[in-house]
Structure 1
Amino acid sequence: MTQGLQMKTSKQTRLGFITGLIDKKKIESFQRILFRATRGNMFFKKAPIKEPMLDPRTNEMVEKVFFLLFFSGEQAKTKIIKICETYGASKYPCPEEFGQRAQMMNEISSRLAELKATIDAGNRHRDGLLSMVSYQVDQWSVMVRKQKAIYHILNMLNIDVTRRCLIAEGWCPVSAKVQIQDALDQAAADSNSQISTIFQVLRSKESPPTYFKTNKFTGAYQEIIDAYGIAKYQEANPTVFTIITFPFLFAIMFGDWGHGICLLAAVLWLILNERPYKKKKLGDIMAMAFAGRYVILLMAIFSIYTGLIYNEFFSKSFTFFGSSAYHCSDPSCSQSTKSGLIKTRSTPYWFGVDPVWHGSSTELPFLNSMKMKMSILFGVSHMNLGILLSYFNAKFFGNKLDIWYQFIPQAIFLNCLFGYLSLLIIVKWCTGARADLYHVIIYMFLSPTADLGENQLFRGQKYLQNSLLLAAAVAIPWMLLPKPLILRKKQHKKMHRSAHGVKESLDMESPDKDYTSHEVHEGLEFREILVYQIIHTIEFVLGAVSNTASYLRLWALSLAHSELSSVFYDKILVLALGYKNKAVTIIGVVVFVCATIGVLLCMETLSAFLHALRLHWVEFQGKFYAGDGYKFKPFSFSPISEED
């Protein structure tokens, strides 16, 4: 074709040509339209371009095709140009003379070389700048976020146009007033300000936020309480007691000092590597375990303690604290098949459970009875602590109504029934009587005047039971009626005074968490207060029974943990060690280790943790904790640094 174009022909017979680019999706239709427009008097060649190109019209990367079109005549040229414009084809000029085309190629090549050199130089300069900036970009990023945080706080300030100053209102701890004033004075001195900042304490009717000073040890326990609800301002903080009661209730369900040692070793590793783990980005489960490492630490220590009391080490018992007070009556029986036990001395095994009970035929009934009664004792004590804290809350807020008509009847009702049951348990343990406590409690309600017979534990027991039953019955209307009637009387008194033009606020003693958190107004009806008090009374009366039964989970989970540990030891480890084949023994040991870690150390730990959490949130905190406050969130840069 090059030779043909170079041939000297007349202008009438010379062929014209057009070159350009077109979208790959339009090439087939474009070629058919050209063929029809020129009646086939054309020569069309195309070649795909490998890499996508940027379309200047849409700013999108599209695949394009290069085309070369030969035609004859001016009319065909006009038609072809219109078709190219219609299809959005890009036309490129190409000289007809060979020398001009060669010159044009050289110019384009030189321009491409210059552009490539410019781009390479720009890339090198960019890489150099990025390398220099890379050491400071983290600091810049933190600085930008700090500036945004500062401006966010400044946007909350009020502008006093007349005095040309900013006014900020907020909360701060009383203990930090001197520190804040010193910081403001230092800021004024550093900025060479001619006007000092005025720091003044204001009196507000709004309820202040709640703020507890915590450290890395107490912070995790406070988070457990805050997950239930933020304490109301100056309300009793359950965290003080939860630091001890939470790991202890967990340990009652997890009592095995062998498993406790494994848990202690794992948490000590987290504590000893505290600094490296703080800088790492941990997974969800690992981050949760690391955040609660000091909670797990006390859980492990208390588990070792209760495990020594239960005398269980991976379901096995040891005689660390002297010899047993019993021996097997059958000379042919072994440690694992004890059928009869005879007491040989009056001095008992002085710490924890006597090891002779493990493996005996009476092990399960003995441990069941002991752990069940122990769960009731701890449960009643825990609930009494919650009721006692409700007294301190009411006394601090000056709410005499809650003291006389909530704390006192609740304490009487709970202790006349389940406190008396706890007393019977202790008396039975001390005297060794064979009384059936289930029978005593049931017939205390069904037949209070019946003779106790062999179930009598002490003199005057029947009269004491009837007195306690009567006191519990009196406590119910004591909780129900007086408080609404007194509130109704005060409301009528206020309305009467308001009718005579006397402006006097009604003293509500102290805010109650539901309907006394604000002053009683005229629209608050007596029936609404009464309905609330009925619900509150029924909830406590029924809850006293259900909550006491809920503490039996301490016995149930302790029994489940002990039985699972015994099954894994006897049915996996002992059987595996009994085989002479080393491969079977190794497999059995591996299965025992995996089952112990997976089930007893992971699943059982999580289960006992959740049950202890429920006992604190519902059975304990439900007695006194309102949890309707909001948390104090001071301005700080530490969250930005922790995020980085």
Structure 2
Amino acid sequence: MIEKMKFLSITGPKEDIDRVIDTYLSKYEIHLENALSELKTVKDLRPYIETNPYKDTYQRAQELSRLLPDNIADTGLKDVSIEEAVRTVEEIGSQVEELTTAQAEYQEKIDALNQSLEKIIPFTGLNYDLSSILHFKYIKFRFGRILHEYYNKFESYVYDTIDTVLYKCREDSEYVWLVYFVPDTISNQIDAIYSSMHFERFFVPDEYKGTPSDAIHTLQDKIKVLETEQNAVKKNLAQILETRRIDLLSGLNRLETFSTNFNVRKLAACTKQNINTFYILCGWMSFRDARAFQKEISNDEKTFCIVEDDHSNIMSDPPTKLLNPRLFQPFELFIKMYGLPAYNEIDPTILIGITYSFLFGFMFGDVGQGLCLLFGGFLLFRLKKASLAAIISCCGFFSTIFGFLFGSVFGFEDVIHAVWLRPMEHMTNLPFIGKLNTVFIVAICIGMGIILLTMILNIINSIRSHDPERTFFDTNGAAGLVFYASLVLTIVLYMTGNPIPASAILLFMFGLPLLLIFFKEPLTALLERKAAVLSEGRGMFVIQGFFELFEVLLSYFSNTLSFVRVGAFAISHAAMMGVVLMLSGAEAGNPNWIGVILGNLFVCGMEGLIVGIQVLRLEYYELFSRFYRGTGRAFKPYGKKN
């Protein structure tokens, strides 16, 4: 069902808008519309232009809130004024900024020392004072690394032929880390030779004292001291955030409310009368909220409300707010996937809830598996509040019912007696056809009944939308309903041995509805008192109408036969469970219970998923396509009820 809406215009002094929003609109669900677009007949209407003064503070509060730990429940928030909220955020922000700056400075120093540490660690094996090496006057030195392959070649063929001293410090699986010394006068030539061996040079800063090992210990000690001081800053920051948590979140909550309220100005308008300026807000409320809101503001001298009952005077269409019994609310998931109903359209939630569950149960009839779906879906819904879990539970209920009708418990058909029939065994003798499985016949009858129902719903929707063509002459309108109902009645009379009345109905009711469908365009123009326009000529109109009529007849036939799958899946479910029991040895009287359990799980999961998809396909293509358009827009309230 769709909740009835009222269109309200709310006005008052411009400076009073925040009080009205905070006092009233935060308690009632209202779908706000752009006042400039809706109230085009109001004179001197202009946009409400004003900059949010608390935008930056609100963003700062959001940034600070992200620093809070997430594992603490936010209880006991205080009701603070907007001024207190701003003051609190600024105080906490300045403290946090000071500490985070200090923390960043410590981190910068630690990173610099770590870089120095990384540069000197590979040369730990050098047991000489670094400061002495780094201050050589006539001897050049080079720190670096070289690949093992080139180091071996250099040592074997080159090292003894040039004037250089090489000291190997460290090696790993890929590189050899070394220092070489060379006289200043020939350093360029020797550097060129090392470069040809792919020597990769490292520049060691002039800041180390003692050996590399001494320098490493010194750097590590400095890093530990800085990390201790940095941790003290972090602890202080965490303590401030913990002690001021409630204050910060209370301020954030107030700033969020104020910012949301302030954004309402984007949809508001202003008008001036004499020296006074008034705001105007307009939007949609449910009947219940509108009555409560009008009653509450009746004693408010600054706030006025006008209700527009004639929707023809309103520019926007009413939004759609679904209001269904709790049992059917999970099925709104399928409605939203297809598209919300327009405000004047029939809400098909209850229809899809009943038909989807019924058809699923028919196609998946098993007491044991149905109970598993029923209780499993219910528990999952209680834990996760997932709509799909509730739908599975409803389907499991109908599967259980049809399991009793078919006499099947986890695939065993000898445990209980079939209240109705066995899907694979029961046959019915039909005139002109012969023996046919009963579930196929029942499935076709169910499909015919659903198609007739959807045609009636289409007529109702078309009347509501003032569409005479779809009401009277469409394939799913009055003409299509008469034709299809007559065809169904004719088939029933022939099958029950009444050929004479069946032939009479076929003779008189077969042609007239098809003629109405054929001439739907000129007949619609006649009803609307418009001149019929045949843009492509009469000949093309006849040819096009003939083929469209042929397509209509074919669609009636194919759409009816589409429901055969309902019976087919009922039979296939019984057949698959028969295979499971045969493979597990149950038919031989010595069942392998692990095989029975695994087989049931496989069938319940795989076939349950396939049946669910197939039923949804029937709902969308065979039901919704006949009467449902799904062109509505969602009701998006500014504020939720407290």
TM-score, length-normalised on structure 1? 0.59
| Aligned equivalent of 1:296, options 379, 392, 407 | 392
Shift, 1:299, TM fit: 1.5
Say whether residues 1:410 and 2:476 are aligned partners. no
* Aligned-pair Cα RMSD in Å: 5.6
Tell me, yes or no, if structure 1 residue 113 matches structure 2 residue 199: no
Equivalent residue letter for 1:477? L
1:598 to 597, 602, 620: 602
Corresponding residue of 2:576: 564
Answer yes or no: is the 8 Å Cα contact 1:157–1:168 preserved in 2: no
Q: Is the 8 A contact 1:254 1:605 kept in 2?
A: yes
- The alpha carbon displacement at 1:144 in A equals 9.5
SS at match of 2:586: helix
Larger relative strand fraction: 2
Deviation at 1:555, TM superposition (A): 1.6
Q: What is the rounded CA distance, in whole Å, between the counterparts of 1:463 and 1:102 in structure 2?
A: 117
Change (3 A) 1:161 1:215: same
Segment drifting more, 216-225 vs 483-492? 483-492
For 2:545 and 2:282, how far apart are their aligned partners in 1? 39
Alpha-carbon distance between aligned partners in 1 of 2:191 and 2:295, rounded to the nearest angstrom: 81
Alignment check: 8 A CA contact 1:27 1:65 kept: no
Distance of 2:391 and 2:492 partners within structure 1: 30
Corresponding residue for residue 472 of structure 1: 510
Counterpart mapping for 1:38-77 below 5 A: 40-45=162-167, 47-48=169-170, 67-71=179-183, 75-76=185-186
Q: Whole-Å Cα distance in 2 between the matches of residues 590 and 316 of structure 1?
A: 19
Counterpart CA distance in 1 for 2:165 and 2:559 is 95
1:607 to 2:610 alignment? yes
Structure 2: state its 5+ residue gaps. 1-125, 131-135, 430-434
3-state DSSP class of the match of 1:292? Answer: helix
**Residue 469 of structure 1, CA deviation:** 3.9
Residues 126 and 227 (structure 1), Cα distance of their counterparts in 2 relative to 1, 3 Å cut: same
1:618 partner amino acid: Y
Q: What SS does the corresponding residue of 1:620 show, helix, strand or coil? A: helix
Measure, in 2, the Cα distance between the counterparts of 1:560 and 1:385: 28
1:548 aligns with 2:560: yes
Structure 1 position 387, deviation (Å): 0.5
- TM-score (normalised: structure 2): 0.59
Superposed, 1:159-170 pairs within 5 Å as: none
**Are 1:371 and 2:439 an aligned pair?**
yes
1:632 alignment partner in structure 2: 635
- 2: CA distance between counterparts of 1:299 and 1:529? 48
- The AA in structure 2 aligned to 1:316 is E
Q: Deviations over 1:353-408 (max 9, x none)?
A: 4xxx899xx74568953222211221111111100101211222333443332322
Q: How does 1:137-536 map to 2 (within 5 A)?
A: 147=256, 154=263, 157=266, 172-177=285-290, 204-214=314-324, 217-271=327-381, 274-275=382-383, 277=384, 290-313=386-409, 314-317=411-414, 352-353=420-421, 363=426, 368-406=436-474, 407-425=477-495, 428=496, 457-458=497-498, 461-487=499-525
> AA paired with 1:415?
A
- Whether the 8 Å CA contact 2:165–2:181 is kept in 1: the answer is yes
Query: Which of residues 615, 619, 631 is equivalent to 1:616?
Result: 619
Closer/same/farther in 2, CA of residues 535 and 250 from structure 1, 3 Å limit: farther
Distance 2:448 2:595 in 1: 41
CA distance in 2, matches of 1:266, 1:209: 36
- Residues 144 and 202 in structure 2, CA contact (< 8 A), matched pair in contact too: yes
Distance 2:609 2:580 in 1: 19
Residue matched to 2:589: 577
**Which of the numbers 203, 206, 213 marks the counterpart of 1:90?**
203
Asked whether the 8 Å contact 1:181–1:199 carries over to 2, the reply is no
Q: 2 CA distance for matches of 1:637 and 1:42?
A: 82
Distance in 2 between residues matched to 1:482 and 1:112, nearest whole Å? 91
Q: State how far apart, in whole Å, the 1-side matches of 2:412 and 2:436 are.
A: 15
| Letter matched to residue 514 of structure 2 | I
CA shift, 1:624, in A, is 0.8
Contact 2:406 2:423 in 1 (8 A): no
Query: Aligned partners of 1:477, 1:150: CA distance in 2, in Å?
Result: 62
Flag the 1:94–1:129 CA change in 2: closer, same or farther, 3 A: closer
SS of 2:169's equivalent? strand
The CA deviation string for residues 209-262 of structure 1, in whole angstroms up to 9 with x for no partner, is 322135764332111122223322321111121221111111111223333233
CA-to-aligned-CA distance 1:546-603 (integer Å, 9 cap, x gap):
111111112211112223333433563434534xxxxxx5xx221122112211x222
Check conservation: 2:487, 2:510, Cα contact below 8 A: yes
Deviations 1:130-175 (A, max 9, x none): 58758969x9799699959966993992687998998776655454
Which consecutive residues of structure 1, in runs of 5 or more, have no partner in the other structure?
6-13, 51-62, 96-100, 279-289, 322-350, 429-456, 495-521, 579-584, 639-644
* Secondary structure of the structure 2 residue equivalent to 1:574: coil
Q: Which amino acid aligns with 1:16?
A: Y
Counterpart amino acid of 1:294?
A
Q: Which has the higher contact order (CA 8 A, sep 6+)?
A: 2
* Partner of residue 20, structure 2: none
Partner-residue secondary structure (3-state), 2:568? helix
Q: Secondary structure at the match of 1:45?
A: strand
Distance between the aligned counterparts of 2:568 and 2:216, measured in 1?
Answer: 87
**Aligned pair in 2 of structure 1 residues 423, 410: CA closer, same or farther (>3 Å)?**
same
Q: How far apart are residue 616 of structure 1 and its match?
A: 1.4
CA distance in 2, matches of 1:200, 1:64: 87
2:342 partner SS: coil
Paired letter, 2:500 = K
How far 1:90 sits from its partner (Å)?
2.7
Residue identity over aligned pairs, in percent, reads: 18
Shift of 1:352: 2.6
Offset of 1:295 from its aligned partner? Answer: 1.7
Distance apart, 1:79 and its partner CA: 8.8
Relative to structure 1, is the Cα distance of residues 236 and 531 closer, same or farther in structure 2, using a 3 angstrom cutoff? farther
Distance 1:222 1:629, change over 3 A: same
Q: Are positions 1:17 and 2:139 aligned together?
A: yes
- The range that moved more, 147-156 or 563-572, is 147-156
Larger radius of gyration: 1
8 Å CA contact 1:209, 1:631 repeated in 2: yes
Separation of aligned partners in 1, 2:255 and 2:548? 48
Residues 109-146 of structure 1, C-alpha deviation per residue, up to 9 Å, x if partnerless?
76763453122221354256458758969x97996999
Once the two structures are superposed, residues 508-556 of structure 1 have per-residue CA deviations (whole angstroms, 9 ceiling, x without a partner) of xxxxxxxxxxxxxx99989999999778655443221111111111221
CA deviation string 1:430-463 (max 9, x = no partner): xxxxxxxxxxxxxxxxxxxxxxxxxxx24xx325
Aligned residues: 485
